[in-house]
């Protein structure tokens, strides 16, 4: 319960909800601004999930001559609130019930009665946005202090679909970092400081990688393929990456050759969710 103002000489408003209570509080605040210079003493009762909690709130409201603003979606709790408030002589404004009933009639179905459902949807949306922002900040070897906060870390040589896979998984709500492996250079020391179960190595067929790199060079408007798309050099790069993977036994290897982005992302998800089942509840 949070008190916004403790002056007992001003009107008392109780907001009560079986969810977060943000909806009821927002409505009260919206109404309050219509009364210039007026103050209200607001007390919040959120996550009220049983009759005992409601009864305690109503007794307190009676003692303080408070008006109750309710956003209860549980029909049993709502019925108890109305009946008990009438017994005690407490004023109750049920802000959800009229709209729920009207829409129920028009839609021909009953509401889900799940407290905080809209809030859950909002939280899911913002979690995805946060995941995308994280993934963009950790693209192509960009390492910061919050690398351990990644859900997934992809490593592999250039053009093994690290960035496309990262962005795809980021849009699904995973915080993804990707780090390129360069021949002759050990992986960044920061990798050793994170949970090794989050790291996945990417591999690809050498000939296919040569084609992808050659196409990339052509797209940049140059014919100078050089070592970047040279098949022999690519063999060396991939062999180097395999040696890195062998030294890190907990890094599973995923061959991305000839598979769609979605297919590879599904395989990555399976690996990660098998290791971190709790992530399935956060997406």
Binding-site residues, in ranges, read 156-163
- Helix (H), strand (E), coil (C) string for the chain: CCECCCCCCCCEEEEEECCCCHHHHHHHHHHHCCCCCCCCEEEEECCCCCHHHHHHHHHHHHHCCCEEEEECCCHHHHHHHHHHHHHHCCEEEECCHHHHHHHHHHHCCCCCCCCCHHHHHHHHHHHHHHHHHHHHHCCCCCCCCCHHHCCEEEEECCCCCHHHHHHHHHHCCCCEEEEECCCCCCCCHHHHHCCHHHEEEEECCHHHHHHHHHHHHHHCCCCCCHHHHCHHHHHHHHHHHHHHHHHCCCCCEEECCCCCHHHHHHHHHHHHHHHCHHHHHCC
As annotated, the binding site for ADP includes 156-163
């Amino acid at each position: 319960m949070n008190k916004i103002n403790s002056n007992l000489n001003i009107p008392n408003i109780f907001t009560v909800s079986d969810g977060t209570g943000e909806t009821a509080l927002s409505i009260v605040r919206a109404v309050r601004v219509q009364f210039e210079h007026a103050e209200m003493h607001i007390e919040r009762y959120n996550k009220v999930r049983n009759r005992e909690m409601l009864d305690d709130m109503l007794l307190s409201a009676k003692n303080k001559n408070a008006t109750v603003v309710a956003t209860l979606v549980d029909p049993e709790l709502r019925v108890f609130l109305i009946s008990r408030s009438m017994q005690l002589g407490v004023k109750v404004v049920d802000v959800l019930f009229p709209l729920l009933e009207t829409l129920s009639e028009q839609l021909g179905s009953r509401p889900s009665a799940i407290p905080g459902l809209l809030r859950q949807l909002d939280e899911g949306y913002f979690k995805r946005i946060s995941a995308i922002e994280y993934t963009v900040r950790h693209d192509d070897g960009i390492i910061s202090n919050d690398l351990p906060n990644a859900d997934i870390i992809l490593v592999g040589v250039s053009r093994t679909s690290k960035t496309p896979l990262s962005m795809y998984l980021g849009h699904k709500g995973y915080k993804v970092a990707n780090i390129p492996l360069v021949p002759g250079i050990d992986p960044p020391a920061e990798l050793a400081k994170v949970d090794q179960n989050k790291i996945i190595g990417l591999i690809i067929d050498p000939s296919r990688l040569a084609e992808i790199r050659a196409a990339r060079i052509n797209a940049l408007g140059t014919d100078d393929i050089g070592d970047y798309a040279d098949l022999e050099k690519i063999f060396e790069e991939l062999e180097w990456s395999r040696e890195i993977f062998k030294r890190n036994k907990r890094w599973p290897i995923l061959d991305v050759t000839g598979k769609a982005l979605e297919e590879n992302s599904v395989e990555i998800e399976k690996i990660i969710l098998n290791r971190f089942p709790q992530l399935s509840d956060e997406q």
